[in-house]
Amino acid sequence: MKFSANLGFLWTDRPLPDAIRAAKAAGFDAVECHWPYAVPVADTRVALDETGLKMLGLNTNRGNTAIGENGLAALPGREADARAAIDEAVAYAVGLSTTSVHVMAGNTGGPRARRTFCDNLAYACDVAGDQVTILIEPLNPYNAPGYFLNSTEQAASIIREVGRPNLKLMFDFYHIQIIEGDVTRRFEALLPLIGHVQIASVPDRAAPDHGELDYAYVLPRVSKLGWDRPVGAEFVPEAGTLPDTSWLGRYSSF
């Protein structure tokens, strides 16, 4: 099994190009990130070319984080801002040959928000075309209180309603264990809709080698079901320490 380092949480003490180099040195097979936009595409590409790593994904901008915004795509009345963030993300992704963009919904709810989200996702899929997969991700209420997308059932319903082949589900085992549990059966049922997989320990969101989810069971099951793409390691290192990657060697054999 192959693994991708999520640089939104790992090696955040250094510029993105240096974090890419650190991921390569640690033994990761790919990288992904959250919001790379402060770094010119050319600088990021130099580090990717140097290391031979591929950037698998990035997120749309969250909006005004000073007032608690956590995405824009489901916010009625913010369509222009949401689509500008989509344009920005897809352009950055295309510049790096990145394969996916996570479109962040934001903190809202109700039928009007759903309609707004679906319309903006259709726009994102059309902008991305056959170059980029658009991802949506349910987030748990502890880390993202009030977030619009908060279950796999809701996400699957939206994917089917939008009806674009390049709209997929980001299946983050950490979030889904907290929201719903029954993760391996849920993964199997949703596999045709899944575009990317992420992991972290539960409940502390640290390295995926402890906690209430046994990845020594989960990951071989994921592999047996046919997942052959890198799994994103989106975990939070202990403060003041380098990311714990001692599990990489063990899990790579799955």
Q: Report the SS3 class of residue 222.
A: helix
Q: Which of 32, 50, 137, 153 is catalytic?
A: 137
Q: Which of 88, 153, 234, 238 is catalytic?
A: 234
Instruction: Name the residue with tokens 């995405």.
Output: 71
Q: Is 234 a catalytic residue?
A: yes
Copy the structure tokens of residue 125. 């899929």
d(Cα 68, Cα 172) in Å, to the nearest integer? 22
12: left (phi over 0), alpha (psi -120 to 50) or beta: alpha
Q: Report the SS3 class of residue 118.
A: helix
Q: Is 69 a catalytic residue?
A: no
Residue 196 DSSP class: E
Closest CA to 16 of 32, 31, 46, 36: 36
Catalytically active residues are 137, 234
